A and B are shown apart, each in its own frame.
Chain A
Amino acid sequence: MARVVLKLGDDISTDIIYPGRFMATVLPSETPQYAFADYPEFNARLKGGEIPPGSVVVAGKNFGCGSSREQAASTLKGHELIVVAKNFARIFLQNAINLGLKLVVCPEIEAEEGDELDILPDKIINKTTGKEFKVEPLPKARQAIIDAGGLIPYTRKLLLEKAAARKKA
Chain B
Amino acid sequence: MSLTMVEKILARATGQKTVRAGEVVEPKVSLAMSHENAALVINQFLEVYKDTGLRPKVWDPGKIAIILDHRVPAESSKTATNQKKIREFVAAQKIKKFHDIRGDEGGICHQILPENGYVLPGTVVVGTDSHTTSHGALGAFSFGIGATEMASVWTLGRVLNVEVPQTIKVVAAGKFQRYVLPKDFILYLIGLITAEGANFKVLEYHGPAIEKMDISGRLTVCNMSVEAGATSGIVPPDRETLRYLREEAGVKGRIDIFGPDPEAEYARIVEIDVSDLEPMVACPHTVDNVKPVSKVGKVKVNQIVIGSCTNGRLDDLAVAARILKEKKIARGVRMLVFPASFRIYQQALKLGYIADLVKAGAVVMNPGCGCCLGVHQGALGDGEVALSTTNRNFKGRMGNPKAEVYLCSPAVAAASALTGYITDPRKGGR
* Residues in A lying within 8 Å of B, measured CB to CB: 11, 13, 15-16, 19-21, 23-27, 38, 61-62, 65-71, 73, 87, 89-91, 94-95, 98-99, 139-142, 144-145, 150-152, 154-156, 158-160, 162-163
> What's the nearest-Cβ distance from chain A to residue B383, in Å?
15
Is B286 interfacial (CB-CB < 8 Å)?
yes
Given A21-B374, A26-B39, A155-B152, A68 and B195 touching (CB < 8 A)? no
User: Is A70's CB under 8 angstroms from B40's CB?
Assistant: yes
A91 to B132: give the CA distance in the assembly, Å. Answer: 12
Q: Which of A38, A61, A70, A73 contacts B196 (CB 8 A)?
A: A61
User: Would you call B375 an interface residue if the criterion is a C-beta within 8 Å of the partner chain's C-beta atoms?
Assistant: yes
A71 to chain B, nearest CB (A): 8
B155 touches A20 (CB 8 A): no
Say which residue of B48, B71, B75, B132 sits within 8 Å of A152 (CB atoms). B48
Overall SS of chain A's interface:
helix
Pair A152/B44 contact, Cβ less than 8 Å: yes
With A19-B374, A145-B161 given, is the CB distance from A98 to B396 under 8 Å?
A: no
Report B367 CB to chain A, min CB distance, Å.
Answer: 19
Known: A20-B397, A21-B375. A160 touches B52 (CB 8 A): yes
B229 at the interface (CB under 8 A from A): yes
Q: Which of B394, B397, B399, B401 has the most CB of A within 10 A?
A: B394
> Known contacts being A23-B373, A38-B396, A67-B130, is A90 close to B200, with CB within 8 Å?
yes
Q: Is B94 an interface residue (CB 8 A)?
A: no
Known: A24-B82, A151-B149, A158-B156. A62 touches B195 (CB 8 A): yes
For B76, the chain A residues whose CB sits under 8 A away are 24
Interface residue? B92 (CB, 8 A): no
Give Cα distance in the complex from A99 to B152, angstroms.
12
Contact mask for chain B residues 381-425; partner A; CB cutoff 8 A; 1 contact, 0 none = 000000000001011110101000000000000000000000000
Q: How far is the CA of A11 from the CA of B392 in the complex (A)?
A: 12
Residues on A with C-beta less than 8 A from B161 are: 141-142, 144-145
Which one, A25, A91, A159, contacts B130 given CB within 8 A? A91
CA distance A65 to B286 in the complex (A): 10
B 14-53 to A, binary, CB cutoff 8 A, 1 in contact else 0: 0000000000100000000000110110011001111010
Complex A-B: 8 CB contacts under 8 Å: A15-B374, A20-B374, A21-B399, A70-B37, A70-B128, A140-B24, A142-B161, A145-B161
| Interface status of B70 (Cβ within 8 A of chain A) | yes
Contact B78 A62 (CB under 8 A): no
C-alpha spacing A11/B199, complex, angstroms:
12
Assess whether B145 is in contact with A94, with CB atoms less than 8 Å apart: yes
Q: List chain B residues, Cβ under 8 A from A38.
A: 395-396, 401
B144–A91 contact, CB under 8 A? yes
Kindly identify which residue among B71, B149, B392 contacts A66, using a CB–CB cutoff of 8 Å. Answer: B392
> Which chain B residues numbered 120 to 177 have a C-beta less than 8 Å away from chain A?
128-130, 132, 144-149, 151-152, 155-156, 160-163
The verdict on B79 contacting chain A, using a C-beta distance below 8 Å, is yes
Given A21-B374, A69-B37, A155-B155, do A98 and B286 touch, yes or no (CB 8 Å)?
no
Asked if B1 is an interface residue, CB under 8 A from chain A, the answer is no
Q: A24-B78, A94-B145, A141-B162 given. 4 additional CB < 8 A pairs? A: A13-B397, A24-B76, A142-B161, A155-B152
Which one of A98, A150, A154, A162 has the greatest number of beta carbons of chain B within 10 Å? Answer: A98
Residues of B within 8 A of A94 (CB): 145-146, 149
Once the chains are docked, how many angstroms separate the CA of A39 from the CA of B169?
Answer: 39
The 5 closest A-B pairs by CB, nearest first: A95-B146, A26-B40, A20-B373, A62-B196, A13-B394
